Amino acid sequence: MGIPPRVLTVAGSDSGGGAGIQADLKTMLALGVHGMSVLTAVTAQNSRGVQGAWELPAEAVRAQFRSVVDDIGVQAVKTGMLASAELVETVAGLLAEIGARFGAPVVVDPVGVSKHGDALLAASALDAVRTKLLPAATVATPNLDEVAWLTGVRVRAESDLRRAADAVLSYGPRWALIKGGHLAGDAVDLLTDGTEEHWLRAVRHDNRHTHGTGCTLASAIAARLARGRSVPEAVADAKDYVTGAIAAGFPLGGGIGPVDHGWRFRDHQD
């Protein structure tokens, strides 16, 4: 039996199972890679929002990383909720090691707030994200709120996406994927390295149950990169996967339900 590609997620836990580490591992399973995790924070979270969040000590993050990487190795990494400036700097240092040892691509989802508007990263961490984390990214995947937080650029129309991408690229990632899902009309994203441009469009599904969309997309990109796809191929494949997951998103609890990470398997169930 062949060994599947190994993908590491460095992120927080969502106790409701729709986003965070839980969404990452479901996505990785669905896309045929072996998911591994370094937990950075624990949240008390459900379909209505985040009721509490507790970051782990940097020592615990480093220990998890050492356990996984030194024994199992890694072929791609995805980062999500990092909670504080100390953890951002800790993780950025670990990512530099992964690049040197394995040459593994890194997908950075610069998580700032939850879908419900709850803060998931300390305001004091902004400089560390800009100067430490983004330069380590093969692909950075900010949504429009995160673009504004990182760069000050406010995207109000599709024509603003290129300016937003240039601003994100100025902090050092090789590629920027600017997610335009909050704009009106079709769901359009711009992927660029400053030279190539790839515009990705999908029909917008009328479904409010979209919790975990950003985590799922970033994890899907990492999974495809681990399987040897180029960045444009990986992002296009991931966009197709998350579009299907959004279409199949389902109600859970009394608020916003999750996307369906297993939507491709539903037709095969009894």
* Residues annotated catalytic, as ranges: 179, 210, 212-215
- CA nearest neighbour of 140 among 77, 228, 210, 182: 77
Q: How far apart are CA 14 and CA 46, in angstroms?
A: 8
| Residue 97: count of CB within 10 angstroms of its CB | 12
Longest dimension (CA), the chain: 51
CA distances for 140 relative to 26, 96, 268, angstroms: 21, 15, 34
Q: Where are the beta strands (DSSP E) in the chain?
A: 6-14, 34-46, 49-55, 76-79, 106-108, 139-140, 175-179, 187-192, 197-202
CB 48, CB 14: distance < 8 Å: no
The residues pairing with 188 across neighbouring beta strands, listed in sequence order, are 201
- CA nearest neighbour of 161 among 203, 131, 125, 201: 201
Q: Classify residue 175 as exposed, middle or buried by CB count within 10 Å of its CB (0-12, 13-18, 19+).
A: buried
Residue type, 67: S
